[in-house]
Amino acid sequence: MAGRRVAVVTGASSGMGRAAAVHLAAEGYRVFAATRFPDRLADVASKNLTPLLIDLRDDADVRAALESIERLDLLVNNAGYGLVGAVEYVDETLMREQFEVNVFGLLRVTRAAIPKMRENGGVIVNISSFLGKIGLPLLTFYNATKYAVEGITDSLRYELSPFHIRVHSILPGFFDTEFARSNLVKEPRTFESDSPYAVLASTLAPRIVEEINGGNDPEEVARLIAWIDQNPDAPARMTAGEKAKKFIPMRRELSDEDFERRVREYYGFA
């Protein structure tokens, strides 16, 4: 790898973002670990890793943060959270906030990063999810944001390739991060005992949380990010973790109806 590359990693205070920031710094990158909670990175801050205060919901804040960086070679769009709830009950505020962070936040950072990359090229890695290709009940809004990330990735690959900016996505399965403990927001009505979704919520949600908490090590995603950056022929999208490696190939191979049948059987849906 020629020269010292500069990276920005969003959502870097925990989980995959923290693992990516630490891993890249250990490989010699100059890493700006972007987060609303920079104090949480005090234990890993170093000459290679600088916490960067940023609120992805504020366009002026995003632009100011990126302008403070002289150059940028690698952008890792990792920040996001999951909203769990029945569409019938999720109100406008919760609905918009899910897209505000997971989609518009990603677009704001990307938009501010492009001018810094256009002259010398660069790499953008969007941390999507295997749920960007597979729907699950009660995760409709999270699914929709990750489907959007996949569409953004596809389109930007065409749009930015003339400037030698590569765009990729990683579709992780379930990983043992703070996601289930800190980054899941529940719509309360869905989980009430008299909710028509009570049975589904009481069986599916605990299983998903269990699968996340028992998931793969986020270091796997961190290594994959570095590999994509360092390999110009890396594929457009890559999977990480057991669930993604199981379901994504199955999604490609089966008809919509057959795949839906498999998912229903796996999770025990009616």
* Residues with active-site annotation: 142
The two tokens of residue 230 are: 């360092």
131-137 long-range contacts, Cβ below 8 Å, gap at least 24?
132/169, 132/171, 133/171, 133/247, 133/248, 133/251, 134/247, 134/248, 134/251, 134/263, 136/204, 136/208, 136/263, 136/267, 137/200, 137/204, 137/269
Cα three-residue angle 133-135-141, rounded to 5 degrees: 105
> How many C-alpha atoms does 132 have within 13 Å on its Cβ side?
24
Distance CA 4, CA 13 (A): 23
Torsion over CA of 248, 34, 182 and 223, rounded to 10 degrees? 40
Residue 124 makes CB contacts below 8 A (sequence gap 6+) with 74, 75, 77, 110, 113, 117, 156, 160, 165, 166, 167, 168
